Amino acid sequence: LFLKFGEVDYFLPFCIYITIMPPKLDQDIVLHDYQSVSSRGLRLFFLDYDGTLSPIVQDPLAATPSSELKKILNTLCAESRNRVYIVSGRNRDLMEKWLGDIKAGFSAEHGSFYRPLSADGASLPWNDIITELKLNLSWKKDVISIMEEMAKNCPGSHVEEKTYTAVWHYRNAKDQKQAEACATQLHDLLKKKEDMGYQVLNGNKIVETRPDGINKGSIVKKILDDTSRENIEFVLCVGDDTTDEDMFSQINLEKDIHKRFTVRVGRVSTAAETHVELQEDVVHLLESLGNSK
């Protein structure tokens, strides 16, 4: 059962899932809490890429990180108490190409791959989470076939096959009204086949499938579990899309971490506890934190 009252969504009967229009992030509070971390405390950052660290662009391959962004991330990573993780739906090869020289941790394809950080903040090799969990991928060929058929009927759209996920993009579709209708049709069609072992979700001008049980929230939990929780004093989690809601929900459960901030880019209903108006606000916030003492 799904009920909606104003800006609050309720999902019943097995649980109550509530999303609200959150207040604007008070960046002064974030800065204060960041600076008040003890000498032995850790600060964790969980940052989406597209629409969060980098603006959304028409051509996904043109969303390369600016030199300014890389400088800001390097400054944050250079602080010994900071652990920066970039948690993205992008494939790991592209993340390695664009950001591999930054001493950050990474998650690619919504948690399918994970490049952790050591206890002292050094980068470690990539882990293949799907292989480790021995998840079923027999659905992928059929899903891609369905997506490709939809792409034929929607000029300008295309299918992106990643290692473990598949995406139908329609940002560049010639007729956006038709594309929105196709997106709804594709989502509904794939939803009926989710028992094959995948999840389908709508994103920013995309319809995407990922292995069942894999999401940004699951990788955030793994990172938290792999870190000395008693030393975590500050968490900042920022994202702009539906796929980031799993991160927000997981961080919101971490009640023992009192200095925690979940932030959605844009004014939308979300599980995040705060929001910022623009993608540029995220970059400016990170720059302020990196430059603070």
Q: Which residues are catalytic?
A: 48
The vertex-199 CA angle with 202 and 18, nearest 5°, equals 65
Measured CA distances, 123 to 16, 59, 96, 145, 151 (Å): 38, 30, 12, 37, 39
Q: Assess whether the previous peptide bond of 65 is cis (omega < 30° from 0).
A: no
Question: Across 99-147, where does the E strand assignment appear?
Answer: 105-108, 113-115, 127-128
Pairing of strands 2-5, 113-115: unpaired
- Buried b vs exposed e over 195-227: b needs ≥16 C-beta within 10 Å? ebbbbbbebebbbbbbbeebbbbbbbbbbbeeb
Beta strands in the chain (DSSP E): 2-5, 8-11, 42-47, 82-87, 105-108, 113-115, 127-128, 158-161, 166-169, 198-203, 206-211, 232-239, 259-265, 274-276
| C-alpha span between 78 and 70 (Å, rounded) | 12
- Please say whether the beta carbons of 105 and 116 come within 8 A: yes
In one-letter notation, the amino acid at residue 46 is F
- Three-state DSSP at 118 gives coil
